Amino acid sequence: MVNHEHKTLSISHQCELLGIHRSGMYYKPRSESTLNLYLMKLIDQTIFDRPFYGVRRMTHHMRHSGHMVNEKRIARLYKLMDIRVVYPRKNTSKPDKGHKKYPYLLKGLKIERINQVWATDITWIPMKQGFMYMMAIIDLKSRYVLNWSISNTMDAAWCTEVLKETINMHGCPEIFNTDQGSQFTSLMFTDLLKENDIAISMDGKGRAIDNVFIERLWRSVKVEYVYLNPANGGVALYKGIKEYIDFYNNQRPHQSLDYETPNQVYQSLRKAA
């Protein structure tokens, strides 16, 4: 779809003409066996209601449901899906060498305005064949999805590109909150935040509930769209997610926002600022 060796059109211009994010132009799904894809979907659905299920409990749950799997397979799928359990545990997955972890800045903080705190996360998205990853950045006051992207990798370069794109679109927040994933602790990612004078906040290890608002976004995206409309290819997934995020931001009322939409809240507070 995008020609990396085009002599006259830059990649950015090609993406603009196609109406896609430059940061999410890699639409070839990652492949896995049919069985693994099925197990991954079951794990994904289960973890919403039982976020405390580690590898052992999930293995037992799968076996009890009639799937003869071992802990080694479930552990591999957890890693592939980037699932981190919410209870405190031993430090079994250290960031890459040279990556600094930052303190959690949101404890006791009253979020009173838009662009005070942004948060981000990555989730696994199942398809008819294969899977991809989705990253989203939201404003915590309004729940507005500021930007999102899909890719077949979840490396630091992709995450940094999405962040840069979001800053260009909306300006800078005061605080940016992430988990301690290696993508977000990378120098590439944290340096961009520092260059823009954005305070860096990171959830404590095993405290996924710190990012509860974006976890609610993932539940909505998957339950209301992805599970009901499994995409047949990366381009179809991109178009479908784009339509859903537009609905989420502009049409879907949120009880926590007094039944206004995230865009209504974001725009009204921006005008009042």
Per-residue model confidence as pLDDT tens for the chain (273 residues): 544 454 555 545 555 555 556 555 556 778 788 899 999 999 999 988 888 899 999 999 999 999 999 999 999 999 999 887 654 444 433 455 557 889 999 988 999 999 999 999 999 999 998 999 999 999 999 999 999 999 988 889 999 999 999 999 999 999 999 988 889 999 999 999 999 999 999 986 544 455 788 889 999 999 999 999 999 988 899 999 999 999 999 999 999 899 999 999 999 999 887
Q: Is residue 243, in this structure, part of any structural domain at all?
A: yes
pLDDT of residue 206: 46
Q: Is residue 221, in this structure, part of any structural domain at all?
A: yes
pLDDT of residue 68: 92
User: Which residues face 137 on adjacent strands?
Assistant: 120, 147
- Kindly provide the b/e burial profile for residues 145-157, where b requires at least 16 CB atoms within 10 angstroms of the residue's own CB: bbbbbbbbebebe
* CB neighbour list of residue 28: distance below 8 Å, 6 or more residues apart: 152, 234
**CATH number of the domain enclosing 222:** 3.30.420.10
Q: Is residue 189, in this structure, part of any structural domain at all?
A: yes
Distance set, CA 24 to CA 1, 117, 157 (Å): 12, 24, 11
Three-state SS across 222-237? HHHHHCCCCCCCHHHH
Q: Is residue 8, in this structure, part of any structural domain at all?
A: no
Task: Work out how many domains the chain is built from and give that number.
Answer: 1
Q: Is residue 140, in this structure, part of any structural domain at all?
A: yes
What SS3 state is found at 213? Answer: helix
Distance CA(102)–CA(96), nearest Å, equals: 14
Q: Is residue 2, in this structure, part of any structural domain at all?
A: no
Sheet holding 145-151, edge to edge: 145-151, 131-139, 117-126, 175-178, 199-202
Chain Cα centroid distance, residue 163: 12
pLDDT of residue 91: 40
* CB neighbour list of residue 35: distance below 8 Å, 6 or more residues apart: none
Q: Is residue 254, in this structure, part of any structural domain at all?
A: yes
Q: Is residue 74, in this structure, part of any structural domain at all?
A: no
Q: Scanning the structure block, which residue is given the tokens 């990649």?
A: 11
Asked if 24 contacts 235 with a C-beta cutoff of 8 angstroms, the reply is no
The domain in which residue 139 lies consists of 117-272
What SS3 state is found at 254? Answer: strand
User: Which residues face 138 on adjacent strands?
Assistant: 119, 145
User: Within 10 A of 95 (CB to CB), how many other CB atoms are there?
Assistant: 16
What SS3 state is found at 80? Answer: helix
